[in-house]
Copies of this chain bind each other. A is one copy, B any other.
Amino acid sequence: MTTVAEAQKSIISQAKSFGEETLPLEKALGRVLAQPILADRDYPPFNRSTMDGYAVQAADFLDKKLSQLQLVERIHAGSVGTQEIHSGTCSKIMTGAPVPLGADAVVRVEDTQETSGLVTFNIETIRVGQNIAKQGEDAQSGQEILSNRSVITPQVSGVLAVTGNAQVTVARLPKIGIISTGNEVVSLGTPVQTHQIRDSNAWVVRGFFHSYQVDEISTTLAKDDKAVLQETVAGFLADKDIIILSGGVSKGDADYVPEILQLLGVQQIFHRVRIRPGGPIWFGTTPDGKAVFGLPGNPVSVQVACKVFIEPYLRTCLGLPLLSPLWLPFSGNRTKKTPFDEFFPCELIIHNGQTGVQAVRYNSSGDIAATAKSDGIVLQPAETEQLADNAVVAFYKW
């Protein structure tokens, strides 16, 4: 049976780009840059005062031991000084204004007194370059300042704005089809009988894709009936880039998903992985590169599969690096229950004065509320029979 690492490698090798599109910056938050961003000019673009104060020649203090200078001009941010600074003179300058010619330091206003055009300085020392952000010190014109394939966070959006990118080219997002299978499953809004359950898997998968700004998401239910399933999957194969099924992949008499997928020309890459929960997962692709994930029907299995399998696929398609887990100390003890890699829901806690993780109460892979109260999942690898208190573990945030 396939290991988790092998399964991830197979999945990633099938990833493909969905193309690119150009958007106005205000629509691009959370999207993935598909162009490198170069500095359009030096940053700072000029020698900028970082303080409200006086622009001076440092040598007037260091060499000539002056303590009073003649004021020649006031320079506000957004304007340019017209007077060159010579020995014995200074200009008042505001934060963000260009340092005038001849000046090589700014003394902050708190250390001065200005009276009738004369400025008295109460300073012990001064440094050439003091309180000046030098032209080009952050980035030089033409230098790459954001790499292709950055997520457009609030911080990145600020950099895009300052460098004049009103339009940005981003990775196009896939169209998603989600099919929840099972005769026992009814949709939200439908009356539910005792032996039935309302679908939650489609909501969780939808939420996962939504966190990558994917919003072209169709969801539907399918009964455990070969003809119904075949028609539903065929409809989505015609139209979607990624199809996620839940249920119907295990060993039950009505588990038709693998059979129907192969009938429809989806080539199986693997079926069953050495993982708990979620072992019966099926993965395959169509000749034109669409990906189909057949997940087990249990809610926690679906959530683990999103993090462990679907997220690496999606990130690779978008050109993003895989997410690294946080390596944190574990609080508690845990004995493995199977010979497989086991993932279990955990919460972040303070453990011996630093951030650690501990397991949340969790009955079974059907436990509806356990993961909602957890911060993510921790891996107990196949070869680690016992997780001891304080062992460093891989934590994957939801």
Contact = CB atoms under 8 A, between A and B. Distances in A.
Interface of A: 25-26, 29, 43-46, 48, 50, 52, 74, 76-80, 92, 94-98, 109-110, 133, 137-139, 145-146, 150, 153-166, 182-185, 188-189, 192, 194-208, 210-211, 223-224, 247, 250-255, 297-299, 303, 306, 324, 326-329, 348, 350, 353-355, 363-372, 374, 392, 398
B207 A157 contact: yes
B195 A161 contact: no
Contacts of A250: 52, 95
Given A158-B204, A161-B188, A354 B372 contact: no
A251 B98 CA distance: 17
Given A29-B210, A155-B303, 8 more contacts: A78-B184, A95-B250, A95-B297, A154-B204, A158-B204, A163-B368, A324-B348, A328-B354
B206 A154 contact: yes
Nearest to A397: B397
A211 B154 contact: yes
Nearest to A392: B354
A158 B200 contact: yes
A152 to B, nearest CB: 8
Among A157, A162, A166, A350, which residue has the most Cβ atoms of chain B within 10 A?
A162
A369 B154 contact: no
A45 B194 contact: yes
Given A364-B50, A365-B50, A189 B203 contact: no
Contacts of A94: 252-254
Given A253-B74, A363-B133, A363-B137, A154 B184 contact: no
A227 B43 CA distance: 31
Contacts of A95: 250, 252, 297-298
Contact of A45 (B45, B156, B197, B254): B197
A194 B211 CA distance: 39
Given A96-B184, A182-B78, A198-B161, A145 B189 contact: no
Contacts of A298: 50, 95
